[in-house]
Structure formats: C-alpha cells, structure tokens
C-alpha cells in the first residue's frame, strides 16, 4: 500500500480518543467509519465529533458548510465486518487492556486485506504483546496520540518485534500528511516517552502535596506559570541549552544541573504506586482550584475544557501547526 492509496479510515472504539482521531481524519479529507460495541456509544461519538468540529468553526479555521460536509463523510456501525472490510488504515482505540486489544485485532484480521495498516492508540502497552496472536503482526504498530487527538500534534509510534519498516514508514508519512508530529521510538518502551515523563512529574506532584510542601492548586501553578509556559514553546533540552548562555546545554549541565540534581534527586519521590488516599485529595484540591479560577479561564469542567482548546489553537497557530 502507498500513502496515496489510503482513502478510507476506520476507527475501532469510538470513545474519547477514537472520536478525536476521527475528527482529525475528517478534517483532512478522509472517509471515516467509526465502530463501537453499542449504538448509544456511536450516538455519543457523533455528538463529540460535531462538538470537536465546532471549535474549528468558532476559530474560523473551517466554515459551517465544510463542517457539514465532514460530518457527512463519517459513517457509524456496530458491525465489525462493515467497519473494516474496505479500510486502508485502521486506528484502534478500544479499552487499554491486552486481552481486549488482542481479541479485537484477531477479529479485524478476519475481514481485512493483509495490506491494511492497523495502528493502536495504546497509551503504553507493548505492541509486540498486542500483536502476539495476530496472523500478520508485520502490519501492526503502536501510534499513541495525546488528548485531545484532533488538536495535539504528537503521535508516538512504536514498532513491535514483527512490525515491518515499510508499515512504519507508511504510517509515519500518513500522520505527517494529516499535520501530526510523529516520532518513532527506537525501541519499545512501556508508556512510550511522553507518558513516562508525565508519570514521573506527576509522582513528584503527589509526593510534594502529601508531604505538605504545597497545595494541589499551587503544584499546578508551579507547572503552568514556570516550566509549563516554556514547554509550550520548546523541549527541555533546548530550554537548558538557552539556560546555559554562551556555554550552551553542556555548560548548563556541568555548572548547574549536575551538582544541583545530585543534591535534589536523593530527596525526590521513588515510590511506584500512587497512594490510595490520593484520588480523593486530588479531586478536593481540583474542585477548590476550579472555584477560585478567574472566570476568563473557566470554572466548570466544560468551560475549562473550552479554555484549553482555545489556548491550544492559539498556540498551534503560533507554532504554524494550524
Ligand atoms: N484518554 C486519553 O487521554 C488517552 C490518550 C491517548 C491514548 N489513549 C488510549 O486510547 C484508547 C481508548 O481510550 P479512550 O480514553 O478513548 O477510552 P474510552 O473508554 O473513551 O473509549 C474506548 C471505547 O472502546 C469501546 N470498546 C469496548 N470494547 C470494545 C471492543 N471489543 N471493540 C471495540 N471497541 C470497544 C468502548 O465502548 C469505548 O467507546 C486506550 O487504549 C487508551 O489507553 C487514551
């Protein structure tokens, strides 16, 4: 299969991520079929896609007529064979569970041509394991999006032991074509890259709050108004490079990071399981922070999600990604 042969895409699992992917594919001119196990979930997906597209209308990126044409290009079904039969590219976004992903893959293979690419949105499972029972594991790969997938460009691609390089190259070209920023892991890693980074940062936030160093709200402020603003512009290596002035990142490491980290790192969290009491503490802290937010940035979950999407679009425009 060649890049230009990809015309019809199927999203398996039409939840939050499947609907987001579908939005991206529709925005880029593809025909999309969404499959889920119940009609009501497909109805919800339809609403999600309409809502996702409305953000692009509000920001004058697409017109209402264009959105209607995109919505008309989406089909919905609870019949797997109908969903995948003529698909050129399948984006699987079912539940994050090896058993379910393995059995969905086996079922998909009954109805598809072996040239159809099957990409899994898994947040961190190994593609080798997901494709363990596949008849054609060479066409299976991991392609982890970041939520919301219709706005965040990153796609972390992961090759299983049997994935062919040809399939990786094809999928890479495809994601590039729809405006994504794909990266290919050089070897499989649980949690890929971004979720591992997120996990260690978040572990430290939990630890600092539980140790009484800061509140949930202040931990978020420390991220957002400090490193977070910079991370929205460039990555940590480039930031350190600028921080090193004339001496660049090498000088920054030698003069500052090596001695400072040696002092701090023995004191940071090392546990491996989020403490049981944390979900309640986190929810209480977030509820308090929501009530205190400036109304400009939203006080309800819906308002805050809208604020996030508005800001993301502004940032993406500055990055020339929209
Ligand atoms: N939520 C996130 O932030 C996020 C980000 C990146 C990747 N992911 C990954 O994307 C995948 C989907 O996550 P989500 O947040 O959209 O979950 P979700 O629960 O919103 O959606 C999963 C959908 O899969 C459907 N489903 C259940 N059994 C199925 C089956 N046998 N075949 C096909 N579909 C089935 C469910 O009905 C549901 O609609 C997971 O692998 C997850 O790890 C999630």
User: Ligand 1 mean position to 271 CA, how many Å?
Assistant: 28
Residue 12 CA, closest ligand 1 atom number = 33
Model confidence pLDDT, tens digit, residues 251-292: 999 999 999 999 999 999 999 999 999 999 999 999 999 999
For the record, the structure tokens of 6 come out as 């990809």
Residue 44 CA, closest ligand 1 atom number = 39
Residue 145 CA, closest ligand 1 atom number = 6
State if residue 36 touches ligand 1 by the CB under 6 angstroms criterion. Answer: yes
Q: ∠ CA 284-286-290 to the nearest 5 degrees?
A: 120
Q: Which helix (H) or strand (E) holds 91?
A: strand 89-92
Choosing among 3.40.30.10, 3.90.110.10, 1.10.1040.10, 3.30.565.10, the CATH entry for 194-318 is 1.10.1040.10
Model confidence pLDDT, tens digit, residues 149-163: 999 999 999 999 999
**Which pLDDT score, from 0 to 100, does residue 10 have?**
98
CATH of domain 3-184: 3.40.50.720
State whether residue 214 is helix, strand or coil.
Answer: coil
For the record, the structure tokens of 116 come out as 């159809």
This prediction has a pTM of 0.94
State if residue 93 touches ligand 1 by the CB under 6 angstroms criterion. Answer: yes
User: Ligand 1 mean position to 269 CA, how many Å?
Assistant: 30
Delimit the domains of the chain by residue range.
3-184, 194-318
State whether residue 183 is helix, strand or coil.
Answer: strand
**Which pLDDT score, from 0 to 100, does residue 242 have?**
97
State if residue 106 touches ligand 1 by the CB under 6 angstroms criterion. Answer: no
**Which residue shows structure tokens 């920054």?**
252
Q: What CA–CA distance (Å, rounded) separates 151 from 322?
A: 9
Model confidence pLDDT, tens digit, residues 63-100: 999 999 999 999 999 999 999 999 999 999 999 999 99
């Amino acid at each position: 299969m060649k890049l230009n042969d990809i015309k019809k895409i199927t999203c398996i699992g039409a939840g939050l991520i499947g609907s987001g992917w579908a939005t991206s594919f529709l925005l880029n001119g593809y025909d999309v079929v969404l499959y889920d196990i119940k009609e009501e979930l497909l109805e919800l997906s339809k609403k999600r896609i309409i809502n996702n597209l409305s953000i692009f209308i509000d920001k004058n990126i697409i017109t209402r007529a264009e959105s209607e044409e995109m919505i008309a290009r989406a089909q919905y079904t609870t019949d797997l064979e109908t969903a995948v039969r003529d698909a050129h590219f399948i984006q699987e976004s079912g539940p994050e569970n090896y058993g379910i992903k393995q059995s969905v893959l086996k079922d998909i293979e009954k109805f598809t041509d072996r040239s159809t690419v099957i990409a899994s949105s898994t947040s961190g499972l190994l593609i080798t394991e997901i494709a363990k029972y596949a008849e054609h594991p060479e066409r299976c790969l991991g392609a982890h999006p970041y939520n919301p997938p219709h706005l965040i460009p990153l796609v972390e691609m992961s090759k299983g032991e049997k994935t062919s390089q040809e399939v990786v190259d094809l999928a890479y070209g495809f994601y590039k074509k729809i405006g994504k920023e794909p990266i290919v892991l050089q070897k499989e890693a649980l949690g890929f890259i971004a979720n591992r980074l997120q996990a260690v940062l978040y572990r430290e936030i939990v630890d600092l709050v539980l140790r009484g160093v800061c509140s949930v709200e202040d931990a978020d402020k420390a991220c957002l108004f400090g490193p977070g603003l910079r991370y929205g512009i460039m990555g940590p290596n480039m930031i350190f490079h600028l921080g090193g002035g004339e001496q660049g990142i090498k000088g920054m490491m030698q003069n500052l990071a090596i001695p400072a980290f040696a002092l701090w790192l023995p004191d940071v969290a090392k546990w491996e399981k989020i403490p049981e009491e944390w979900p309640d503490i986190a929810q209480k802290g977030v509820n308090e922070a929501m009530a205190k937010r400036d109304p400009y940035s939203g006080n309800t979950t819906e308002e805050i999600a809208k604020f996030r999407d508005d800001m993301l679009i502004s940032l993406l425009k500055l990055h020339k990604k929209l």
